[in-house]
């Protein structure tokens, strides 16, 4: 395996401008001085930008950027579709370091969108597992993050949001705060 290689280069966008120039007509004073109509041609008494019927659009490309392979791969391994009240269930994620460098990941499980830490006592859902901290990953290593939950009530229960970020790449590896549907569980009685 190799470290993150350049997968390709691409422009950040393009602007295409289709324009039609507006012609400027000569004033009547200029036209009247030309008695033999020597100033008349296929464009009439126009000057400045010529009125052309078929002008190719101008295309301006944005700056080029290099697109790198993703340094991490993350996927949810396990999440029950309908857990039962009082029965422990597990939610697991697998994260793979796809680089030849050691990585430090920041892990945080939050109870709401503001990013507050999960309180130690939650009357709806009991949680076991590493809730916050750092995890070290070696080159090409795969690591599984598992959390055990137990619901104390039946019905619609919100699971805390998991966020895993890379300190080296300054990017999210897992960011559940953007996907609220994956955090809602329907707990059977």
DSSP string, the chain: --S--EEEEEES-EEEE---PPPEEPPHHHHHH-TT-TT--TT-SEESS---S--PPEEEE--EEEEEPPSEEEEEEE--SS-BTT--EEEEEEEEE-SSS-EEEEEEEESSTT-PBPPS--SSEEEES--EEEEEE-TT-EEEEEEEEEESSSEEEEPPEEEEEETTTTEEEEEGGG-GGGGEEEEB-
On the question of pLDDT at 118 being above 60, the answer is no
pLDDT, position 110: 79
Sorted by sequence, the CB contacts under 8 Å of residue 115 that are 6+ apart come out as 108, 177
d(C-alpha 133, C-alpha 117), whole Å: 12
**Mean pLDDT within 137-151:** 94
Cβ contact 79:111 at 8 Å: no
On the question of pLDDT at 122 being above 70, the answer is no
pTM, two decimal places: 0.61
Q: Which residues lie across from 150 on neighbouring strands?
A: 126
**Mean pLDDT within 108-132:** 68
pLDDT, position 115: 45
**Mean pLDDT within 156-168:** 89
d(C-alpha 149, C-alpha 1), whole Å: 37
55-101 tens-digit pLDDT: 788 899 988 888 778 899 999 998 888 899 999 999 999 999 999 99
């Amino acid at each position: 395996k190799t470290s993150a290689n350049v997968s390709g280069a691409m422009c950040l966008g393009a602007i295409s401008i289709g324009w039609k120039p507006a012609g400027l007509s000569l004033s009547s004073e200029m036209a009247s001085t030309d008695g033999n109509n020597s100033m008349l041609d296929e464009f009439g008494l126009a000057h400045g930008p010529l009125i052309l019927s078929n002008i190719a659009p101008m295309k301006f490309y944005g700056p080029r950027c290099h697109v790198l392979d993703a340094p991490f791969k993350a996927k949810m391994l396990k999440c029950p579709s309908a857990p039962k009240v009082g029965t422990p269930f597990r939610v697991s994620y697998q994260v793979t370091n796809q680089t030849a460098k050691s990585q430090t990941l920041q892990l945080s499980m939050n109870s709401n969108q503001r990013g507050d830490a999960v309180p130690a006592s939650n009357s709806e859902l009991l949680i076991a597992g590493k809730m916050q901290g750092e995890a070290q990953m070696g080159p090409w290593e795969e690591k599984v993050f598992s959390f055990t939950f137990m619901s104390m009530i039946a019905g619609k229960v919100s699971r805390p949001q998991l966020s895993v970020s890379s300190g080296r790449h300054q990017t999210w590896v897992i960011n559940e705060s953007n996907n609220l549907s994956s955090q809602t569980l329907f707990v059977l009685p």
